[in-house]
A and B are shown apart, each in its own frame.
Chain A
Amino acid sequence: MSDLAIRNLFIIPTIVFLIVFNIFPLLYSLGYSFTDFRASTNAPANFVGLDNYRTLLSDPFIWRNFTITAKYVIVSVTGQVIVGFGVAMLLNREIPFKGLLTTLLLLPMMLSMAVVGLFWKMLYDPNFGVINYALGLGKFEWLADPDMALYAIAIADIWMWSPFVMLLSLAGLSAVPKHLYEAAAIDRASGLYTFFRITLPLVAPILMIAIIFRTMEAFKTFDLAYILASQPTTEVISIRLYKMAFQEWQTGMSCALAYIVLIMVLAITNIYIKYLNKVKER
């Protein structure tokens, strides 16, 4: 068998798989987004032009969902970066049982979202939850309070995904040349100065990659928010999309919403990547 044949043998199945399961549905749903198609009926899809996009973008409920999602992304990703990077800094030194500690800290991100959701639901329970007991908060209603519920979900997400940021940060920190710290020590540089002038700039590119991944994931979050609370103040855009597509069967409209979400995620990711390239150039 020729090299070309072997190459094709490996590549063609993947390309076919990609076309059938990704590209084709993507284009097909783009077509549906311009129709009034409802999958629950046998009625044909009628072309409605940009009506679905117009309706969605002028719907105050949808904008509320986007605002909630943005708030969630900012709180959740910021928390993950602070906690993840902080823990990585602590682990980036000689401490006993470092390997075991690192492995244990990685456990949350290995659990399934549904399990984490149910687990935190119990922790937050005002009647028997351990969080209120430990913090002495009495019967504080984390998930029933419309102003608190979103933060409660973000806290669970921070717990779950900080280890991911920690892992990438550890890789970045271990790559910082030791002689830079030695030079800073000789120059009697303060800890803060060393952190902002050496550590952070050198770890920034890999930290940016962690932020890109976590932002994309947080923007699409569904499981945790769906399991933990059903407040209107926690209805992130993916939950609205799910309800529109699979409970209300507004197929055409939900395809349009999915494209709006896709465009937003792409736009945010592009901004990050541009910033990442700038950081790398420094």
Chain B
Amino acid sequence: MRGTWTGLVAGVGMTLMSTSAYSQELTIFWAEWDPANYLQELVNEYEAETGVVVTVETTPWADFQTKAFTEFNAQGSAYDLIVGDSQWLGAASEAGHYVELTEFFNANKVGDIMAPATVKYYAEYPGNSGRYWAIPAEGDAVGWSYRKDWFEDPAEMAAFEAKYGYPLGVPADWKQLRDIAEFFHRPDQNRYGIAIYTDNSYDALAMGFENALFSHGGELGDPNTFEVEGIINGPKAVAALDAYRELYGFTPPGWAKTFFVENNQAITENLAAMSMNFFAFFPALLNETTNPNAANTGFFANPAGPSGDRFAALGGQGISVVSYSQNQEEAMKFLEWFIKDETQKRWAELGGYTASAAVLESQEFRQATPYNEAFYQTMFIVKDFWAVPEYAELLGQLNNRLYPHIVGGEGTAQETLDALAADWKATFAKYGRGQ
């Protein structure tokens, strides 16, 4: 009997020892999409190099924010790192959910490694404060895909030029974008002009509208004073909303709750000539198994507005260390590895959208896929939504005001944006901003 007990205790001891030998583990939390799979492939190489097991845990986009903040609020240590949305920076840093990375940032000169816009929007909070909370991880922005075969059809080209007086091609500005959408909008042929974001559940509608707003020279407000009156409801913003609403008239039927899935379907199902989407979803359009029109799909960056301003709405995420992680030291070591040039290059090769300036600028990257050039151009012209802790309220108010106007045709653009400006002023006042 004693022998049995001794054996049992030894077995338990060995098990515990072996568990502790594999205790160097990191868990990264991200949304469920292709880049997360690419990241898992990348971190497998980190495991091969260091022996540290890194797992990328995912959840559907619809639950991502809720699940992440629920874990933060519970001060849970389930995740060591999180690839969080840029809008979360304010909420997560002010609440102490993210570890401040300013020292790491400066010591490793991350600001020199990553593209400036990604540092500004994915990492720094408050704006221009020199305080950093994330490392730019997945660069992303809203770009466009289009049907090359429709655009290059000689009959279509002749008809377009006869109607509009200039050749059919990738739109150089929003006026041309509108003309092309109108030209291809043929409901009787089950062919439509354009696919845009309209889903008002989270940030889709805001991202779509921002593409119009920023390129029309408009702004959401003043990020330093939080002044919005005369800015979000100024003439440029009103023109941008009019332009976006007009584009909605050229979308396929039922385009009232659409985000990345539907907008890729617009291309794969032969529904639309052009489709707005985040660059992160473009790899699926080049895959012939998911897109029968892969060979005929082209890509372009958001066109300029009437005054030549050219900007795009920022997507993408930075990677942050969670304050409640038990493995912060190990997480920092991982970040040191992640920002290395060779890692960033490998990240891009696997399909991740690197934010590394050197990789982005290299000819190798820009020519690697048909959309990388558009992505490169876009990543230097991006702007983002408010990143303050109350961003979700501001986003909800934007959805409440813009959606009925864009989809339902309620009110004028000026009335809609006046109401939004009033909402935002009240929200900023509630949280004591700009006073």
Binding site for B on A (CB under 8 A): 39-43, 61, 124-127, 139, 141, 143-144, 146, 229-233, 243, 246-250
A126 near B396: Cβ-Cβ < 8 Å: no
Using A139-B187, A247-B65, A248-B393 as known contacts, say yes or no to A41 and B94 having CB atoms under 8 A apart. yes
Binding site for A on B (CB under 8 A): 65-66, 69-70, 72-73, 91, 94-96, 187, 190, 199-202, 252-257, 271, 389-390, 392-393, 396, 400, 403-404, 407-408, 410
Using A40-B95, A231-B407, A246-B66 as known contacts, say yes or no to A144 and B256 having CB atoms under 8 A apart. yes
B199 near A42: Cβ-Cβ < 8 Å: no
Total A-B Cβ pairs within 8 A: 79
**Which B residues are in CB contact (< 8 Å) with A143?**
254, 256-257
Query: How far, in angstroms, from A243 to B393 measured CA to CA in the complex?
Result: 9
**Which A residues are in CB contact (< 8 Å) with B190?**
127
Q: A247-B65, A248-B392 are in contact. List 10 more A-B contacts (CB 8 A).
A: A40-B69, A40-B95, A61-B400, A141-B253, A141-B256, A144-B253, A146-B407, A230-B256, A246-B69, A248-B396
Using A141-B256, A248-B396 as known contacts, say yes or no to A231 and B66 having CB atoms under 8 A apart. no
B253 near A247: Cβ-Cβ < 8 Å: no
B255 near A144: Cβ-Cβ < 8 Å: yes
B392 near A247: Cβ-Cβ < 8 Å: yes
A106: shortest Cβ distance to chain B, in Å? 30
A147: shortest Cβ distance to chain B, in Å? 9
- A126, A146, A230: which contacts B253 (Cβ < 8 A)? A126
B95 near A247: Cβ-Cβ < 8 Å: no
Using A230-B199, A230-B201 as known contacts, say yes or no to A249 and B392 having CB atoms under 8 A apart. yes
- A40, A125, A144: which contacts B407 (Cβ < 8 A)? A144
B427: shortest Cβ distance to chain A, in Å? 10
Nearest 8 A/B pairs, CB to CB = A144-B256, A126-B253, A126-B254, A139-B253, A146-B408, A41-B95, A248-B392, A39-B73
**Which A residues are in CB contact (< 8 Å) with B408?**
146, 231-233
**Which B residues are in CB contact (< 8 Å) with A61?**
400
Task: Return the chain B residue nearest A228 by Cβ.
Answer: B257
Task: Return the chain B residue nearest A132 by Cβ.
Answer: B253
Report 20 cross-chain contacts, Cβ distance below 8 Å, ordered by A residue. Answer: A40-B69, A40-B91, A40-B95, A40-B389, A43-B95, A126-B254, A139-B187, A141-B256, A143-B254, A144-B253, A144-B257, A146-B404, A231-B256, A231-B407, A232-B200, A232-B403, A233-B408, A246-B66, A247-B392, A248-B393
**Which A residues are in CB contact (< 8 Å) with B404?**
146, 232
Query: How far, in angstroms, from A230 to B256 measured CA to CA in the complex?
Result: 8
Query: How far, in angstroms, from A219 to B404 measured CA to CA in the complex?
Result: 24
Query: How far, in angstroms, from A124 to B253 measured CA to CA in the complex?
Result: 11
A127 near B254: Cβ-Cβ < 8 Å: yes
**Which B residues are in CB contact (< 8 Å) with A124?**
254
A237: shortest Cβ distance to chain B, in Å? 15
Query: How far, in angstroms, from A247 to B257 measured CA to CA in the complex?
Result: 18
A232 near B400: Cβ-Cβ < 8 Å: yes
**Which A residues are in CB contact (< 8 Å) with B65?**
247
B250: shortest Cβ distance to chain A, in Å? 14
A258: shortest Cβ distance to chain B, in Å? 17
A40 near B73: Cβ-Cβ < 8 Å: yes
B376: shortest Cβ distance to chain A, in Å? 33
**Which B residues are in CB contact (< 8 Å) with A141?**
253-254, 256
B211: shortest Cβ distance to chain A, in Å? 20
**Which B residues are in CB contact (< 8 Å) with A126?**
253-254
A171: shortest Cβ distance to chain B, in Å? 39
Using A41-B95, A146-B407, A232-B400 as known contacts, say yes or no to A250 and B253 having CB atoms under 8 A apart. no
Query: How far, in angstroms, from A143 to B257 measured CA to CA in the complex?
Result: 9
A239: shortest Cβ distance to chain B, in Å? 10
**Which A residues are in CB contact (< 8 Å) with B94?**
41
